[in-house]
Structure 1
Amino acid sequence: MENKSVLFKEFDKKSCITIMALAFPAMIENILQVFIGVADTYFVGKIGTEAIAGVGVTNLIMNIYIVFFLALGVGTAAIVSRNIGAGNIENANNAVKQSFIMAFAIGIVFGIINLIFSRNILLFLGAEESVLEYALPYFFSVAVPSVFLCLMMVLSSALRGSGDTKTPMQISIVMNITNIVLDYILIFGIFNFNGLGILGAGIATTISRIIGFMLLMKKINSNNNVKIHMNLMDKWCIDKDILKSIAEIGLPAAFEKLFMRFGQLIYGGMIVKIGTEAYAAHNIAGTIETFSYLPGMGFGVAAATLVGQKLGANRKDMAQKLGFMSYLLSAGFMMIVGAVFYLFALPLAKIFSTDQEVIDMVVKVLRIIALVQPFVCSTLVITSALQGAGDTKFPMCSTLIGIWGFRVLGVYILGLKLKMGLVGVWLAISVDLIIRGIILMIRFMNGKWKDKKI
């Protein structure tokens, strides 16, 4: 019987360094991925309001696609990390190949759908004719070639599963620089080139993704990459067992994100009914809150990788210890961010608005957010740790219950019926985070995920 007290022993320096060496590059990569969107919005904003709306409506559908791309990445990382831990490099490499095949197929299918039904999709999402003029060129140039984004995300996940988080970070730096330079040139023009407007923004984004994909392929095809290797010249064949394993792990992760996305749409509509100021304050608070997620997402990558590798090596005790250490280290960082939110709520709110009513609501919400950071951390890091073990069904079920049972219902009762406004909305969100964080931690501590076969 395993000694569970290992979780509460003093942290050894080597384990902390290992966790942080994986987590910090992943955090930086997440920041850089956000900056790609920020750069596009900044440059497109120079064209006009309709152009920004065109980018926004395109991103609505892209976010749905990304749910499936991320889920495929979860399955890939779990299988790769498990085989790396077991020392079975051949199986790890085969898993990368099968993920590549699946990513290529999914990306091509989505691309064809976007090509044929682009106008219908945008109209369904509520794009008006004035917005459609800008949305269609951007949608064509970003959504149709989405296969490159899918392949890039899967290959990055494979590298992270092998324990390499630095390469995806370094490639994200190259992509950011490429995107910024091409945004300026292709949108506004240079020398005798007049620029392509919003079409240029889409082309710049896609070119940066193609470059990212090519650099990832170069890394994985390199003989210097000793952990995983995928040679395009090798014999390729479909392995139904691995594809099935990827799907069994990835699909629950996809449904988890979809439950969350659709839940957010529902209670977002409820917030609109509370008032324009409340909705503005909600979006501002949510934007600021995103910064607290960065440590959780970074340490989540470390937790998923290490849990998978240690389970593969049949070191179940170390898998649990490193997952728990990842949580505690992340919680420390997130509580510091929470303290900043609490103490500097007013100046943070004033950065985004001059409306006193909006500012007052943002301040109240930020202070609520600050108090639930340990539970937010659990929903991020412990979910990733369980996914690294291949246990994706439990997080999916907890998200379904949390988002729809506590968050959506709670927003309706507290925000609308009891007329508590935006404070009631965020109290409902906090109840969801607290309960879901506790449930996930109980699941992780009881260790049932240790015997998950993939």
Structure 2
Amino acid sequence: MDPIILAVIKKKFKFKDIKEVLQLAFPAMIENILQVLLGIVDTFFISKLGTEAIVGVGATNILMNLYIAFFTAVGVGTTAVVARNIGTKNIKKASHATQQSILMAVGIGFLTGFITLVFARQILEILGLEERVIEYTLPYFLVVAVPSAFLALMLVLSSALRGAGDTRTPMKVTLIVNVINVILDYVLIFGIVDFEGLGILGAGIATTASRLIGVLLILIFLNRKSSLLNISIKFPWTFDKILIKKISLIGYPAALERLVMRVGQLVYSAMIIKIGTDAYAAHNIAGSIESLSYMPGYGFAIAASTLVGQNLGAKRPDRSEYLGLLSNWLGTIFMVCVGIIFFIFARPLGLLFTRDEVVLKQVILVLRIIALVQPFLCITLVITAALQGAGDTRFPMYSTFIGIWGIRVIGVYILGFVFNMGLVGVWIAVASDLILRGVFLMFRYKRGKWKEIDIDINAKN
């Protein structure tokens, strides 16, 4: 067995390797925390406007998550291609790939924006919103979704930087954007001095304006001579059909994976509603608390994706495998610590959200189930990202499809309704999905077929 892989099994990690992973993971973790905090502040401000505002923003977020699935496709493809070329020290190709990804992001962003502009009302009606809520939500939805090219660019540009090994710039930009968004939110929603405020429309304008500022900040950084990815903002740019096809082929399974997951979540969420109001409330509370464990997971996932891609580009496949596994081990340590907190402090955490004993008891049980599967949740996040960084995006898509639809949705029905286990049955099904998916993903990773994937941007396949 290769000595590098043997080192992982024996857990004899070198300090410099741990440091390399942490230098990428920590800024990404902080960025994710900032995004969560922004969501909390946004929700707090919007809640002051009333129930219709909460429903309207929630509906918009559901739809934007569907758009994000397509933007993610470009982002995943960009990270893989940029990282591989950074690994070969071909900065020119990495920069060219970033330029083509920008063109793709703008194209997809304008397409989703145009569809929103033409069919906004019909899209909201599909969600089953009441007419008065649609009228209230429509301006916000248009202001946020029509200029979705800004969101697409933010995601893709950040993906390019991460592929180049720079997770600090996206973190810094996210911090600036979040501060701007909070300030604009308060001023535009509630008003200041003689300005009365615009309510929910103001929240939409604040969101779009902050995204535009974020895009400009990243473009300014990329146009600096000191930037590893030196992207000239001078036009015209030419389309590279071969490269665009390559990025798309790598990325589209990631988009399908995201869509499969989102639709599946909607289906089994509808089932949980039928179990009862208390169960649905407990499910949402537990899910909100569970999201805390995703923060370290996403950070180490980004580190794994970047390091695997770069070392494959440097023709060091064994080191790619080693660093991917190291990222997973470190992520597991962090997430197990979070799991211990969930298990021990389940009741105090639940009390932060509800005083209803019926709901609280269910929250406690669910949090303790979540605590036990943290290592497998880590694998689904980190090893999936490692495979995607190598360009192996189809297997994670297949595993997600089988896991969400073959285990979660069917399991929720069987355990929740047939065996009448309620919300505990639902989360046993979720845990079963995470365990089996984690095992299959790790098996795929250890087999190492992803090392043979050719994503040379000059290749014709």
* TM tier, smaller: over 0.9
TM-superposed deviation, 1:311: 0.2
Answer yes or no: is 1:193 the counterpart of 2:195.
yes
Match of 1:153 in 2: 155
How big is each residue's C-alpha offset from its partner over 1:142-190, in whole Å with a ceiling of 9 and x where there is no partner? 0011110001110000000000000000001101110111111111111
Distance 1:207 1:95 in 2: 27
TM-superposed deviation, 1:428: 0.7
TM-superposed deviation, 1:8: 2.7
Match of 1:448 in 2: 449
How big is each residue's C-alpha offset from its partner over 1:243-268, in whole Å with a ceiling of 9 and x where there is no partner? 11111111000111111111111111
Matched position secondary structure for 2:408:
helix
TM-superposed deviation, 1:120: 1.0
Letter of the structure 2 residue corresponding to residue 139 of structure 1:
F
Match of 1:261 in 2: 262
How big is each residue's C-alpha offset from its partner over 1:177-210, in whole Å with a ceiling of 9 and x where there is no partner? 1011111111111111111111110000111100
Match of 2:136 in 1: 134
Aligned length: 453
Distance 1:20 1:262 in 2: 33
**RMSD of Structure 2 on Structure 1 (CA):** 1.1
Distance 2:164 2:341 in 1: 35
TM-superposed deviation, 1:39: 2.0
TM-superposed deviation, 1:7: 2.8
Letter of the structure 2 residue corresponding to residue 385 of structure 1:
A
Match of 1:295 in 2: 296
Correspondences of 1:27-426 after superposition (within 5 Å): 27-225=29-227, 227-233=228-234, 236-426=237-427
Q: Are the equivalent residues in 2 in contact too, given 1:57–1:125 (CA < 8 A)?
A: yes
Q: Are the equivalent residues in 2 in contact too, given 1:6–1:317 (CA < 8 A)?
A: no
Match of 1:439 in 2: 440
Q: Are the equivalent residues in 2 in contact too, given 1:29–1:168 (CA < 8 A)?
A: yes
TM-superposed deviation, 1:234: 5.8
Distance 1:38 1:112 in 2: 29
How big is each residue's C-alpha offset from its partner over 1:377-436, in whole Å with a ceiling of 9 and x where there is no partner? 000000000000000000000111111111111111001100011111111111110000
Q: Are the equivalent residues in 2 in contact too, given 1:7–1:320 (CA < 8 A)?
A: no
TM-superposed deviation, 1:36: 2.5
The change in CA–CA distance for 1:364 and 1:339 in structure 2 (over 3 A counts) is: same
TM-score (norm. length: structure 2): 0.97
Letter of the structure 2 residue corresponding to residue 202 of structure 1:
G
Match of 2:22 in 1: 20
Distance 2:299 2:343 in 1: 23
TM-superposed deviation, 1:140: 1.2
Gaps (5+ residues) in structure 2?
456-461
The change in CA–CA distance for 1:132 and 1:234 in structure 2 (over 3 A counts) is: closer
TM-score (norm. length: structure 1): 0.98
Q: Are the equivalent residues in 1 in contact too, given 2:7–2:13 (CA < 8 A)?
A: no
Letter of the structure 1 residue corresponding to residue 185 of structure 2:
D
TM-superposed deviation, 1:2: 4.8
Distance 1:375 1:230 in 2: 39
How big is each residue's C-alpha offset from its partner over 1:334-376, in whole Å with a ceiling of 9 and x where there is no partner? 0000000000001111111111110000000000000000000
Gaps (5+ residues) in structure 1?
none
TM-superposed deviation, 1:133: 2.7
Matched position secondary structure for 1:222:
coil
